[in-house]
Amino acid sequence: METVNHPPHYGGDTVYECIKVIEAWGLGFHLGNCLKYICRADKKGANIEDLRKAAFYLNREIERRENQ
């Protein structure tokens, strides 16, 4: 169950756990996913795929704001 509720690649059970930061800062879907992928990238090795996913969600948020 801990791998579901507090996976180590998301910060584990620390005060800096990614989901806690996303919720505390009210980041929403796109920015929350961006932060999630950045936070876990180095915990899964030098994961370029996670950094690309972070860039994807950041670009989506930029586009959304530009179109408002």
Instruction: State residue 9's pLDDT score.
Output: 60
User: Terminal CA-to-CA distance of the chain, rounded, Å?
Assistant: 40
3-state secondary structure of 66: helix
The model's confidence at residue 55, banded by pLDDT at 50, 70 and 90, is very high
Under 8 Å between Cβ of 7 and 42: no
62 pLDDT higher than 90: yes
Domains of the chain by residue range: 2-66
CA 29 to chain centre: 9
Q: What does pTM read for this prediction?
A: 0.76
Q: Count how many residues are written for the chain.
A: 68
Alpha-carbon span 7 to 36, nearest angstrom:
12
Q: Is 9 exposed, middle or buried (0-12, 13-18, 19+ CB in 10 A)?
A: middle
